[in-house]
Structure 1
Amino acid sequence: MRANLRHLRAFLAVVDHGSITRTAEICHVSQPAVTQAIRKLEREPETELFQRRAQGLFVTEPGTVLARRVRRAFGLLDPTLSELAPRLRITATTAQLVALVAVTEAENFTLAARRLGLAQPTVHRAITGLEREIGRALFERTPHGMIATRAAEMLTRATQVAFVELDQGEAELGELLGREVGRLVIGGMPLSRSYILPRAIARFRVRRPKLPIKVLDGPYEDMLTSLRRGEIDFLVGALRNPAPIGDVVQRPLFEDELIIVCGKDHPLRRGTPPASVADIAGFPWVVAAEGTPTRQVFTRLVETQGLAPRSLIETGSMVLMRELLQVSDHLGFISRLQIEPDLDLGAVHELAVPLPDTFRPIGLTLRDGWSPTRAQQEFLDELEAVVEAARTGEERRAG
């Protein structure tokens, strides 16, 4: 929902005071302007946000749902607006903030205008208006493009998460009115993509067969940035220790075991089984990238035994690991759950080597203070059901 910010502020004032007259006084606008703002907000969902009575305006259930999300949106946006300029809460417009986000992301006025379907001078005027109010430049011109200043980055992030709250308000209004609105955007790390998410999505589809679901992958740092911007609802996968930054929270779901695997024709499968990691350290290894929880466990494992493997291949691709193990003498260090289907098929084999402290927490990474919609909560419930089923060994097929 990209409603006029002034209309939304007027809407909240009517919720709080139940009076068009009082709202007009508070917001320093005319009574017809307040009435028009409410009507515009009611137009898109095609529902009444207030009951009109002789005693005043009384908020309806849809109005209450919307008001909750609008308050949360301004709670995220207003502190930054006030920090940058005292009057910015009053003067900043939706169009200006939309332009700010587009230029920050595109690092170019022309590309931002094209993305928004606007003329380049229109976008430039929007940014200039913000800069005039704030009293400083929001972008620095460099050979690589228009780079956002710290002030622009702060306001962009606050705008993005505030707009997500408004989108969630739209989804909740749709839910209340019997419509399927919105979508799920999930950041899936390797283990979740191969085990947890397929099962949770299958179960969720029984409840909601039509709601769009988008699962993103990529480097953890990129997904974390998207989560903090509100572009991703939550991340599922290995948790970081410590938590990566203060504005996200981690919620453990279960612990996953890391194991050593080899190909079916590996020489270690013949003769006496190895008794320790030291017996196999000389083989080449396929391991996760630096900075990942799996790699941290591997590094700790070999360092505590004074080992230095001579040959490492770093990859986040389980497919590449599996194929390398089948055609070479490489060993792999990977999650048991992630590689379990290949173990069951006999494509790879576990080496029964004692491995102390190779468990890692798997769970959710969420924005601090995030409040899920009903659909989002239902998906989280299904995730937890999948984890519980795996824990008890009683997994049920969806449907």
Structure 2
Amino acid sequence: MRDLPHIRYLYVVKEIFQHRRISIAASIVHISQPAASQSLARVEDHLKNRLFERHPKGLDPTEIGLIFERRLTRVLHHLRRGDSLACKKANRGKNGKPKNNFHRHCSPVQIRAFLKITKTGSFNQAARELNVSQPGVHRALRELASLSGFSLFKQTKGGIKLTPAAEAFSHQLRLAVGEFQQAIFEINEFLGKTTTRINVGSLPLSRISILPAAIDKLLSQEGKGVQVNCVDARYPTLLRDLQFGELDFLIGALRFPKPAYDIEQEELFIDGLAIVVSPSHPLASSAALTIEDTLEYPWVAPPRATPSGTYLFEKLRIHELPNTPVCTVSSSLILLRGLLSRGNYVSITSKSQIEFEKKMGLLVQLPIDLPESDRPIGLTVRANWKPTPLQAKFLDIIRRISEIKNMKSPLNNKFK
């Protein structure tokens, strides 16, 4: 990921975009005209592209300049918001004497050190990953603390922990860095070069059919101009990475009520749950069954925090039985398939997730009615996230594949 240039350079360029004259921008930010020209040159060098065409009467943005201007507005919004939230939290917690607009003076070295320590939680590990000395990391963070006027960390038994003020600044700073990277991707897409990276948080159901089909379609159209990075993890981990700008979007089961104010959810289709066993299971050939018929067999249950686990534990109340049949808890389809093939185990899973296994005769869905088990599958994005054209194209491909899947599905009760 490309680092931010010096933030004060970005503010100079913002004023040049607004007024189209370097002299006016220099006056507004209280620097000399040569210094303002140098700030613009530094940002253009960082982007490896010219942002303006020079004319005797002023400057006109290039096409690339117009692309960058839109992203720059978003970058500076996150930086100002991070600054404001951090100062409010520092005042509330009586954490030093915060200095408003401190972010304008943060250097790239300080930002790199701060972001790395927030991710690693270790000065030693941060220094190794940055390929600098540990005293250098300490020095950069001391300077940042002095600039901001509040403490960045507090020592705990488990190591260092961000103060609430530093956490607020870190959140918005990471979004600003992500937005700057989006500018790089969008400029390169316009020029028809380099690679746009799409970071997707993939929940279990999406990995079976939707994502493989969508990725194959995108790559067949764009070739080497795109890289899709799929991250598999539990929902809380993926949600936090999405909120902090590490992921572009999530795809999988939606959560209700919405788990955070700063995300948006888009339904793609409805999926149902099924009770499944191996083809050799004693119940596999039964024509009519109830959930009680399965309770004498060992169960492989999904984690309670997952949508299927929530249904199993809260609707069926399987854990409250005197002799609960749950013997294993796992969200892994591979482990589920392995266990079911070795014994008379029973499990509950998404119908879409086991389409391939049913087609190949590896799993059998038992004829057990599961009322109110339908759930919406869809996309989760950050509120106000702006995809690049290539990222937007990938989302449209996912939507089209989901529309086809929805038309084929017997589940047509649209979630409200």
Q: TM-score per shorter chain, which class? A: over 0.9
Q: Does 1:116 align with 2:130?
A: yes
Distance 2:178 2:48 in 1: 21
* Per-residue Cα deviation, 1:271-311 (whole angstroms, up to 9, x for no partner): x534322232332211210111111122243139x967722
Which of 306, 311, 317 pairs up with 1:303? 317
Which residue of structure 2 lines up, in the alignment, with residue 218 of structure 1?
A: 233
Distance 1:8 1:90 in 2: 9
Q: Does 1:142 align with 2:144?
A: no
Equivalent residues of 1:45, 1:174 under 8 A apart: no
Which residue of structure 2 lines up, in the alignment, with residue 285 of structure 1?
A: 299
Q: Which has the larger displacement, 295-304 or 329-338?
A: 295-304
TM-fit CA distance, 1:316: 0.9
Residues 363 and 148 of structure 1, relative CA distance in 2, 3 Å threshold:
same
Distance 1:206 1:268 in 2: 44
Which of 56, 59, 62 pairs up with 1:57? 59
The one-letter code sitting in structure 2 at the alignment partner of 1:78 is R
TM-fit CA distance, 1:324: 1.5
The one-letter code sitting in structure 2 at the alignment partner of 1:70 is L
Q: Percent identity?
A: 33
Equivalent residues of 1:257, 1:358 under 8 A apart: yes
Q: Which has the larger displacement, 12-21 or 135-144?
A: 135-144
Which residue of structure 1 lines up, in the alignment, with residue 259 of structure 2?
A: 244
Secondary structure of the 1:208 match is helix
The one-letter code sitting in structure 2 at the alignment partner of 1:74 is L
Which of 277, 282, 285 pairs up with 1:267? 282
Which residue of structure 1 lines up, in the alignment, with residue 27 of structure 2?
A: 25
Equivalent residues of 1:97, 1:156 under 8 A apart: no
TM-fit CA distance, 1:44: 4.4
Distance 1:326 1:99 in 2: 50
Which residue of structure 2 lines up, in the alignment, with residue 330 of structure 1?
A: 345
TM-fit CA distance, 1:35: 0.9
Residues 76 and 309 of structure 1, relative CA distance in 2, 3 Å threshold:
farther
Equivalent residues of 1:278, 1:307 under 8 A apart: no
Secondary structure of the 1:183 match is strand
Which residue of structure 2 lines up, in the alignment, with residue 7 of structure 1?
A: 9
Which of 196, 199, 203 pairs up with 1:182? 196
Which residue of structure 1 lines up, in the alignment, with residue 116 of structure 2?
A: 102
Secondary structure of the 2:275 match is strand
The one-letter code sitting in structure 2 at the alignment partner of 1:212 is Q
Equivalent residues of 1:238, 1:360 under 8 A apart: yes
Equivalent residues of 1:252, 1:364 under 8 A apart: yes
Equivalent residues of 1:259, 1:350 under 8 A apart: yes
Which residue of structure 2 lines up, in the alignment, with residue 397 of structure 1?
A: none
* Per-residue Cα deviation, 1:337-359 (whole angstroms, up to 9, x for no partner): 11111111111111111221111
| TM-score, normalised via structure 2 length | 0.90
Q: Does 1:341 align with 2:368?
A: no
Identify unmatched segments of 5+ residues in structure 2.
88-98, 410-416
Which of 191, 202, 206 pairs up with 1:192? 206
The one-letter code sitting in structure 2 at the alignment partner of 1:12 is K
Identify unmatched segments of 5+ residues in structure 1.
395-399
The one-letter code sitting in structure 2 at the alignment partner of 1:155 is F
Secondary structure of the 1:14 match is helix
The one-letter code sitting in structure 1 at the alignment partner of 2:275 is I
Equivalent residues of 1:167, 1:182 under 8 A apart: no
Equivalent residues of 1:302, 1:308 under 8 A apart: no
* Per-residue Cα deviation, 1:55-94 (whole angstroms, up to 9, x for no partner): 2111121111001111101111212213423131332223
Equivalent residues of 2:268, 2:403 under 8 A apart: no
Q: How many residue pairs end up in the alignment?
A: 393
TM-fit CA distance, 1:180: 2.7
Which residue of structure 1 lines up, in the alignment, with residue 81 of structure 2?
A: 79
Equivalent residues of 2:7, 2:105 under 8 A apart: no
Secondary structure of the 1:254 match is strand
